[in-house]
Structure 1
Amino acid sequence: MANEVRSSAPASQLAGAVWRKSTRSGAIGNCVEIASLGDDEIAMRNSRHPDGPALIYTRAEMSAFLAGAKDGEFDDVLH
């Protein structure tokens, strides 16, 4: 299927994904992990459920999110 858009997949089915987490993650494993899935996709999963669902984003989507986070656009969700 050309131009197929996928937004999630079981993390266990993402062959070749090398998962990594932030050094700021908590010691009890409460973190999010990411993996590059080739040229234009990045997957994100909950480290406590490594075989559970992974959300899949394009690099442009992740770039926009990270820029917003760095700019403080999402700080209000912590209150």
Structure 2
Amino acid sequence: MTVHPRGWRKSSRSGRVSNCVEVGRVGDGAAVRDTKNRELGYVAATRQQWTAFLDAVKNNRFE
């Protein structure tokens, strides 16, 4: 069985710009896709992976 992400949304900081990413729900985790190339699919993460990613972003660990 294939689970499809639902509730896609993009950051409110993106404004009217179309070159950003969208995040959707998949199971108890998240999926991410490119708004310009939605047909290419998405990358999915478990809840634990997504939480670790958000924590890293919030703590500037990608600079």
TM range (shorter): 0.7 to 0.9
RMSD of Structure 2 on Structure 1 (CA) = 1.9
Q: Which has the higher contact order (CA 8 A, sep 6+)?
A: 1
Identity %: 35
Q: Which residue of structure 2 aligns with residue 69 of structure 1?
A: 57
Which structure's CA Rg is the greater one? 1
2:5–2:24 Cα contact (<8 Å) kept = no
Aligned length: 62
The structural deviation recorded for 1:38 is 2.1
Q: 1:25 & 1:16 partners in 2: Cα distance? A: 21
Q: 2:5 & 2:58 partners in 1: Cα distance? A: 29
TM-score by length of 1: 0.67
Aligned partner of residue 68 in structure 1, secondary structure: helix
Aligned partner of residue 20 in structure 1, secondary structure: strand
TM-score by length of 2: 0.81
Q: Which runs of 5+ in 2 are unaligned?
A: none
1:57 aligns with 2:34: no
| Pairing partner for 2:25 from 32, 36, 41 | 36
Q: Which runs of 5+ in 1 are unaligned?
A: 1-12
Q: Which residue of structure 2 aligns with residue 24 of structure 1?
A: 13
Aligned-partner residue type, residue 24 of structure 1: R
